Amino acid sequence: MYLVPFAQIPEVSTTVKKTVKDFPHTGEPAMPTVKPILDEPLRDVSICVGGDSCYYLTGTIGPDFMRANEGIKIWKSKNLKDWVPLGLVWSIEKDGTWQKQWGEKNGQKRRAVWAPEIHFLKDNYYIAYCITSLGTGLLRSATGKPEGPYISVNAPDAPLTKGIDASLFQDDDGQVYFLYGSGLISKMKNDMSGLMDKPVQLECAIPDSNIDHHHPSRPCTDMAHVGFEGVYMFKANGHYYLSCAERYFERYHCMTAEATHIMGPYSARYVSVPYAGHNTFFQDGHGNWWSTMFGNDADAPVQKQAAIVPVEFDKDGHIRPKVK
């Protein structure tokens, strides 16, 4: 782990709240036109390719995203354009155990599934997720079908970790890793019933010391993380791509870093897909790469709705939006 000396940690002012209007666009790559692909309000959009070559989409359902929702919904598409709802595949009230507990923040009760992420691996469908204030979990389809029903991988049912924003990654050798938060990672047991070891933090070898590149209300003592939430990992062209969301000049961007080994060292982070903070990447049936997006600041091209952005790799292997 790269530790930043205390003297290098910039002080954070809490007296002035800045917005995107306080900063010019500096360094963000160009974006193509982006439009919603679903009418329903959605955050933290996740898309995967299933065993039937169809696409499956999920995310944090609204309208009261941050405080309370029913559970997890899934949509299906054959072409990334026409989406068919598969309904509520997992309900907090009907299917939950520890997830039913209400938490509280700033005097307000809350109980919601945040950032469910759907994955197809080991010939089955898995949904990584978190519950407000309670921790992360992992569900698997009891039938091998994307519509479920879904049950917890661990018994007795309990949170896998503290924190938020759970994700999965399967390496070329078949090993599955559980990730969450700002880049914490652990191997999963072969039967997917739990974690093999204590999670460790993945970090960039070169820290980003510009405080305006970090979340303003979360003073960063670790300038080496790739982002403060919404971790996602995939592998392409022999490299591991590690992404997280960050408030970069107050814009909710996707930041990415790369490595040739899963545990790093990871390169300096960069803005890969503007406004696509807390996203997933996937490759379609024609070999094209895409990023999901939902829009979480006033300058985003969509506002809390599911969208996709075509992406490509530049001559250095970095991700960037594909602009015609």
pLDDT recorded at residue 20: 85
Q: Can you tell me which residue has the tokens 């979480």?
A: 296
**Strand 71-77 to strand 251-259: parallel, antiparallel, or no bridges (unpaired)?**
unpaired
Q: What is the DSSP string of 76-114?
A: EESSSSSEEEEEEEEEHHHH-SGGG--EEETTEEEB-EE
Percent of the chain at pLDDT exceeding 90: 86
Q: Which residues, in sequence order, are CB contacts of 263 under 8 Å at separation 6+?
A: 185, 200, 202
Task: Give the DSSP H or E segment for 95.
Answer: helix 92-95
Whether residue 8 has pLDDT greater than 80: no
Burial class (CB in 10 A: 0-12, 13-18, 19+), 121: middle
Q: What pTM did the predictor assign?
A: 0.93
Distance, CA of 9 to CA of 18 (rounded, Å): 20
- DSSP-assigned letter for residue 3: P
Beta bridge partners of 110: 103
Could you tell me if residue 203 is inside a domain? yes
Residue 4 lies inside a defined structural domain of this protein: no
In angstroms, rounded to a whole number, what is the distance separating the alpha carbons of residues 276 and 316?
21
Q: What is the mean pLDDT of residues 124-136?
A: 97
Domain at 191, CATH number:
2.115.10.20
At 298-312, the pLDDT tens digits run 999 999 999 999 999
pLDDT tens digits for 71-110? 999 999 999 999 999 999 999 999 999 999 999 888 899 9
Do the domain assignments include residue 7? Answer: no
> Residue 100 carries which DSSP code?
G
Question: Using the 8-state DSSP alphabet, how is residue 214 labeled?
Answer: S
**Token pair listed for 280:** 């997933």
Q: Which domain holds residue 195?
A: 20-321
Which amino acid would we find at residue 110? Answer: R
CB 4 within 8 A of CB 221: yes
Distance CA(68)–CA(60), nearest Å, equals 10
Is-contact 76 83, C-beta < 8 A?
Answer: yes
pLDDT in tens, 239-295: 999 999 999 999 999 999 999 999 999 999 999 999 999 999 999 999 999 999 999
Is 253 a member of any domain? Answer: yes
Residue 3 belongs to a domain: no
Does residue 113 contact residue 98 with C-beta atoms inside 8 Å?
Answer: no
pLDDT bracket for residue 27 (50, 70, 90): confident
Tens digit of each residue's pLDDT (9 = 90 or more) over 187-198: 999 999 999 999
Domain count, the chain: 1
Distance of CA 172 to the CA centre of its chain: 21
CA 272: distance to chain centroid? 14
d(CA 59, CA 75): 10
Sorting pLDDT into bands at 50, 70 and 90, what band is 16?
Answer: low
Answer whether residue 117 is part of any domain: yes
Tell me phi and psi for residue 230, to 5 degrees.
70, 45
Q: By CB neighbour count within 10 A (0-12 exposed, 13-18 middle, 19+ buried), where does 4 fall? A: middle
CB 60 within 8 A of CB 114: yes
**pLDDT confidence band for 1 (50 / 70 / 90):** very low
CA dihedral sign, ordered 295, 301, 307, 310:
negative
Instruction: Tell me if 134 is assigned to some domain.
Output: yes
Residue 123 placed within a domain: yes
- CA-closest candidate to residue 57, choices 114, 119, 99, 104: 119
Confidence category of residue 32, pLDDT binned at 50, 70, 90: very high
Can you give the pLDDT at residue 76? Answer: 98
